[in-house]
Structure formats: C-alpha cells, structure tokens
Structure 1
Amino acid sequence: MNNEQLLQLVHDAADDKRAEDIVVLNMKGISLLADYFLVASGGSDRQVQAIAREVIDQANENDITVRSVEGFDAARWILIDLGDVVAHIFHRDERDYYNIERLWREAPVIEI
C-alpha cells in the first residue's frame, strides 16, 4: 500500500466514525516525521477513542504497522504513528487550544 492509499484508509476510518473537521496536511519537505498529518476531532472522549480505534483496526486489517499510539486513555489528543502518515485525533476543546494547523501553517492542505 502506498502513502496515498494509506492516507485514504486513515481518512475513511476517521470519517466512518463521524470525525469532525478532517484536515490533511502535506508534510513532504516540511517535516522529517511523516509525509502526511491527518487532523480530526470528536465531540466526546468516547468518540475520540472510537475514531482512533477504527484507524488502528483498519491499519491492522490491512497489515499496516502501527508504530505507536499515544494518549489513548486520556482521549484528549490521540496520536497514531503509521510511518509516513500520522493521525492526530483531538477532543474538540483540545484541538481549538493546540491549533496544530496553525503550528504547521506552511504545510499545504490536501482535499480528500
């Protein structure tokens, strides 16, 4: 699976759990961490965990290595490292506070 297909899989998994305001940042040439950041949010701790769980389950079903998951238990900002795609799943309140899109504002937004 190439990076664009992985990105689509992560996007679809988040969308299936009704993630809000899904934004994809093209990090190529901007960050050495990943080629893409997917940023999404949920309205409750339970929804944030459900979105993250679906991303992880879809990755596992497609034999994609989940390198690490951070913040799952707190469910305020869950980071899922899939290699060239990193998913940031925020609780709505935390997303407004951290405003990761502003932090990486030089990264082009990709429409999916």
Structure 2
Amino acid sequence: MIQPEELLELVVDAAEDKKAMNLVALNLKGISLIADYFMICHGNSETQVQAIATEIRKRAEEKGARLRGLEGMDTARWVLVDLGDVVVHVFHRDDREYYNIERLWSDAKVVERV
C-alpha cells in the first residue's frame, strides 16, 4: 500500500513531467476528512490538462493506488483526480483563478518539496 506522502510525491512528479504550472500541495491533515493532501495545478490548454490528469492516473495505478474518481476529463476545464488520501485538482489556466480553491483551504499548510 502506497503511503500518502509517497503518493503526493508521485502526483507532483507526474504533473511536473507534463509541464503543469503553479503546483501547490496543501496538507489537510487535521483540517479535512476528505483527504490528507490536495494538489492543485493548471495547464494552458484542454489538451495539457487532460495530459496532466492522465499521467497522474497512470502513475498512481502503476504504484497500486486506487482511483476513486475522475471527473471533468470531457471538458478539461477542471479535472478532479481522487486517489483517496490525495485529491488532485488540475485546472485550465483560465479557470484556476476564478475558482481559487486555495483560498477555500487557506488554513491548510503548503507542503514544501524536499
């Protein structure tokens, strides 16, 4: 079973490999029962958003993580990849600022990369 921290690292690496922009990882432990971590990023086109989400799903499944949900791939404006302990939000650049979900979780700590 993959640990939440390892899954987060894998998700970040997969997103970076597809040139995701402005990656932010939030530690939700003790704040939310939804997940331990949110990772938020964006792509500059629908095609890039889909590529980022697809790469994250592929790598997570290769490591044995269970995909609990995948929403938004059809429009690729806001794709949600639910991996249980880690929930990934991949936005289209134009929609990220509008939804500003980082603000909703402003009490969460930003995870710094090691």
Length-normalised TM-score, structure 1: 0.98
- The 3-state SS of whatever aligns with 2:67 is coil
Deviations 1:16-73 (Å, cap 9, x if unpaired)? Answer: 0000000000001111100000000000000000000000010111111100001111
Q: CA RMSD in A?
A: 0.6
Structure 1 residue ranges, 4+ long, deviating more than 6 angstroms after superposition: none
Whole-angstrom CA distance in 2 between matches of 1:35 and 1:43: 27
CA distance in 2 between partners of 1:93 and 1:105 (Å) = 21
Give the aligned length: 112
Q: Tell me if 1:21 matches 2:22.
A: yes
Match of 2:38 in 1: 37
> In structure 2, how many angstroms separate the alpha carbons of the residues matched to 1:94 and 1:57?
24
Quick one: distance in 1 between partners of 2:62 and 2:29?
Answer: 26
Separation in 1, partners of 2:102, 2:92: 15
**Unmatched segments (≥5 aa) in structure 2:** none
Q: Secondary structure at the match of 2:25?
A: strand
Sequence identity percentage: 58
Q: Does 1:9 align with 2:5?
A: no
